[in-house]
């Protein structure tokens, strides 16, 4: 390698390092500004509550404050009567609860208002506050996560996997958190029968939405990822890398019920990934089998004895289903029968007599 090439490579790395440092400090500055603003809103809420109590003032004082503050602050909408009431609620909600207050101060105002108005349960609100901080959820994303009941699907409902028997203790809890009890794929707008490859293509078309549904930390690598063994080739439907777990995550898509042989196939893929793709400093790969329906007892028996960590998760399309179509779609059994019939018909028409 020539000296000039070495200099160019070193310079590109220098430039990349500086750009990354600038970006990190911009994010840090934005976070600090937000914390300062949330502290201000908390303090305003505190002042209003205490003055109302001391002076015996009612609701009218908030309306008067809004009028005078908006006039003084050159028409700023930040101090509308509605916002002042939210600031008052913000203070009352978190006074005396330092843990929740610290979390809430790190979350933007729009997301705080959403959680104040829509989530009353403490554990659920804590979950959404933590996830908003961790994944930098926008208000729109947070609203979608609340509407699709991400808390219940990730923490509240039982999950089926063999992580307890296949992962070291320091990775077990984090691995359990990366999968949900059910994935909502309503963003695909699927209302009828679909083949596995079509489902895969749909997910690739809506990759950003799919990654948001999977959760924080997933980085897309590819679909139909090729693995070779001797003279044969095998293909993983979807392959991701999880930044937090530092491991590859393989996803196998199934349009019907879970079948025990799916576990053996995934175990085989994970063996190949660990042997041929995994980097020396990465943790061992994890597999997720995504299917329409599963029997938990059947899954438990299928995963028993597997040496690789595998989770089995259902998906649903139902959240955005139009009212006019409810009750008119086929069951999973009918769906499988239709697809099998379609495949047979296609083979019959393409095979020579």
**Per-residue model confidence (pLDDT) at position 321:** 41
**pLDDT digits 0-9 by tens, 184-199:** 888 888 777 778 888 8
**pLDDT digits 0-9 by tens, 273-326:** 999 999 999 999 999 999 989 999 999 999 998 999 999 999 888 654 444 444
Residue 338 has pLDDT above 80, yes or no: no
d(CA 154, CA 335): 27
**Per-residue model confidence (pLDDT) at position 188:** 87
This prediction has a pTM of 0.65
Contact call for residues 266 and 289 (beta carbons, < 8 A): yes
d(CA 339, CA 252): 18
**If 0-12 CB within 10 Å is exposed, 13-18 middle and 19+ buried, where does residue 65 land?**
middle
Contact call for residues 182 and 319 (beta carbons, < 8 A): no
What the block records as the tokens of 315 is: 């998906």
Domain with CATH 3.40.1350.10 in the chain: 156-350
Q: How confident is the model at residue 74 (pLDDT cuts 50, 70, 90)?
A: confident
Average pLDDT rounded to a whole number, residues 76-94: 93
**CA dihedral over 81, 31, 247, 198, signed as positive or negative:** positive
Average pLDDT rounded to a whole number, residues 31-50: 94
Between the alpha carbon of residue 68 and those of residues 41, 83, 85, 182, 301, the distances in Å are 17, 14, 15, 50, 68
Residue 23 has pLDDT above 80, yes or no: yes
**Per-residue model confidence (pLDDT) at position 332:** 47
d(CA 312, CA 293): 10
d(CA 272, CA 229): 8
156-350 — its CATH code? 3.40.1350.10
Q: How confident is the model at residue 34 (pLDDT cuts 50, 70, 90)?
A: very high
**Per-residue model confidence (pLDDT) at position 277:** 94
């Amino acid at each position: 390698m020539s000296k000039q090439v070495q200099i160019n490579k070193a310079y590109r790395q220098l430039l990349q390092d500086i750009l990354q440092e600038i970006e990190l400090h911009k994010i840090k500055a934005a976070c600090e500004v937000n914390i300062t603003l949330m502290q201000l809103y908390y303090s305003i809420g505190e002042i209003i509550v205490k003055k109302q109590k001391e002076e015996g003032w009612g609701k009218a004082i908030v309306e008067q404050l809004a009028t005078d503050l908006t006039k003084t602050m050159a028409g700023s909408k930040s101090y509308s009567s509605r916002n002042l009431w939210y600031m008052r609620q913000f203070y009352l909600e978190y006074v005396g609860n330092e843990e929740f207050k610290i979390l809430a101060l790190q979350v933007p105002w729009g997301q705080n208002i959403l959680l104040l108005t829509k989530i009353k349960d403490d554990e659920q609100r804590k979950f959404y506050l933590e996830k908003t901080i961790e994944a930098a959820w926008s208000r729109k994303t947070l609203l979608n996560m609340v509407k699709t009941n991400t808390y219940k699907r990730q923490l509240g409902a039982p999950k089926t996997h063999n992580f307890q028997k296949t992962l070291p203790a320091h990775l077990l809890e984090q691995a359990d958190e990366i999968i949900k009890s059910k994935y909502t794929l309503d963003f695909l707008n699927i209302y009828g029968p679909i083949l596995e490859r079509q489902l895969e293509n749909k997910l690739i078309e809506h990759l950003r939405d799919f990654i948001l549904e999977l959760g924080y930390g997933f980085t897309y690598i590819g679909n139909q990822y090729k693995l070779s063994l001797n003279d044969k080739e095998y293909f993983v439907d979807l392959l991701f890398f999880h930044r937090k777990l530092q491991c590859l995550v393989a996803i196998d898509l199934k349009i019907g019920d879970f079948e025990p042989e799916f576990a053996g196939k995934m175990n085989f893929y994970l063996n190949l990934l660990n042997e041929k793709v995994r980097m020396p400093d990465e943790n061992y790969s994890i597999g997720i089998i995504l299917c329409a329906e599963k029997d938990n007892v059947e899954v438990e028996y299928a995963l028993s004895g597997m040496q690789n960590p595998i989770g089995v998760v259902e998906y649903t399309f139902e959240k955005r289903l139009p009212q006019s179509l409810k009750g008119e779609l086929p069951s999973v059994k009918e769906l499988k029968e239709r697809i099998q019939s379609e495949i047979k018909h296609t083979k019959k028409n393409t095979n020579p007599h």
